[in-house]
Amino acid sequence: MKTIIRISILLVLVHFCEIGAQEPLNLAQKLGYPRDAKLLIVHADDIGLAQSVNTATIRAFEKGGITSGSVMVPCPWFPDFAEYFKAHSDLDVGIHITLTAEWQTYKWAGVSPSDKIPSLLDENGFFYPSVEAVGLNADPGEAELEIRAQIDRAIAFGIKPTHLDTHMGSVGAKPELTQIYLKLGKEHGLPILIPRFWIEAFPQEARSDIERNNVILDALFMLDQEPPSGMWDKAYEEMIGKMVPGLNQMIVHLGIDNDELKAVAVNHPDYGATWRQKDLDYVTSLEFREALKNHDVQLVTWKEIKEVM
C-alpha cells in the first residue's frame, strides 16, 4: 500500500514538473491564436496631417483595410480627427510622436510654448525637416517636455491612446530620446512600437530589459520607395509573403489625391498625394484581403495587445 502511495505522489510531482517546464504563453496564444501564428497590425501613419489624410484613414477603418493608426498632435487637422474619434472611440488609435516637419512649405511647431523647446525648432520656429537635425540639436529635457505635451493634448482632446509610435523614427535620433520613449510608454501603460532591429544596437543587458518589459515587433514592413509603374499591388503582396510567425506591422500612408494633399506634398513625391491614394486603394481592395488569407495572416490591433500586456 505504501509503495502505491509513493508511486502516486511521484506521478503527481512529475505532472507538476512537466507543467512548470512548459513554455509560457507567447503573444499569439494570449490573443487566442496558435503559438506560430502570423499576426499583423495594418497601421496608418500621419492622422491629422491634412483633411484628406483624415478622410482616407476613416474610410480605411470603416472598410476594414487597416486595424490601427496614430495621430500627429501638432498638425492642423488633429482636432478634426479628434472630433470624429469622440463618436468612434472603439478605434485603435495611438500617438505618432512628432518632432519633425518634413514638407517643403507645409510646416508646424510643437504644442509646447516655443521658448520652452528652442532646441527642437529651426530658425523659422518650426520643427526640423530631418531626423538627423533632431539628433544634432534636440535637448533631451526639452524633447521630453514636448512629447509629454503631445500625449497630454491628445488625451485632453478625447483620444484614448492604445500605443505610442514615432514620426520618421525621430525618437531614435539619439539614445536619450529612445530612453524617454521607453520611459513614457511604461509610465502610461502603453505598448510602443519597437522593431527588433532597433534594439540590436543596445548592450545585451539593456536589450534584455527592453525585451522583458515591452512587446517587440518581429518584423516591420513599409514601402520606402515607389514601386515601378503598375507594381504597387505586387510590392505589398511580396511583403505579406515575407511575414513571419510572431508580431508583424505594415505601415501605410493614406490620403486622397486632391489639391489639398498635392499642396502639402509639393516637390515631395515620396509619401505624397499619388502615393497615399495608391496605399488607400490597396488596403481597401479585395486583392489585399485575399493576399492575407492566402498567407494565413491574422489581423490584430495595438488595443488587443495593450489588454494582454
Q: Residues 246-258: pLDDT tens digits? A: 999 999 999 999 9
pLDDT(7) > 50: no
The pLDDT score that the predictor gives to residue 216 is 95
CA separation for the pair 86, 185 (Å, rounded): 23
Query: Whole-model pTM?
Result: 0.91
DSSP structural state of residue 95:
E
* Of the candidates 290, 235, 293, the residue with the CA atom closest to the CA atom of residue 38: 293
DSSP structural state of residue 195:
B
The three-class DSSP label of residue 50 is coil
Q: What does the pLDDT look like over 118-175, one tens digit per residue? A: 999 999 999 999 999 999 999 999 999 999 999 999 999 999 999 999 999 999 999 9
Architecture of domain 25-308: Alpha-Beta Barrel (3.20)
pLDDT(16) > 70: no
**CB–CB of 60/53 below 8 Å?**
no
Q: What is the dihedral of CA 81, 87, 93, 95, to 10 degrees?
A: 50
**Contacts with 295 (C-beta within 8 Å, 6 or more apart), sequence order:** 38, 240, 241, 243
Sign of the Cα torsion 121, 125, 131, 133 reads negative
Q: Are strands 164-166 and 219-222 parallel, antiparallel or unpaired?
A: unpaired
Q: What does the pLDDT look like over 42-54, one tens digit per residue? A: 999 999 999 999 9
The three-class DSSP label of residue 76 is coil
The pLDDT score that the predictor gives to residue 203 is 83
The pLDDT score that the predictor gives to residue 206 is 85
Give Cα 4 distance to the centre of its chain: 58
Mean predicted lDDT score pLDDT of the chain = 93
Q: What does the pLDDT look like over 69-81, one tens digit per residue? A: 999 999 999 999 9
CA separation for the pair 57, 72 (Å, rounded): 13
Residue 164 pairs in a beta bridge with: 95, 192
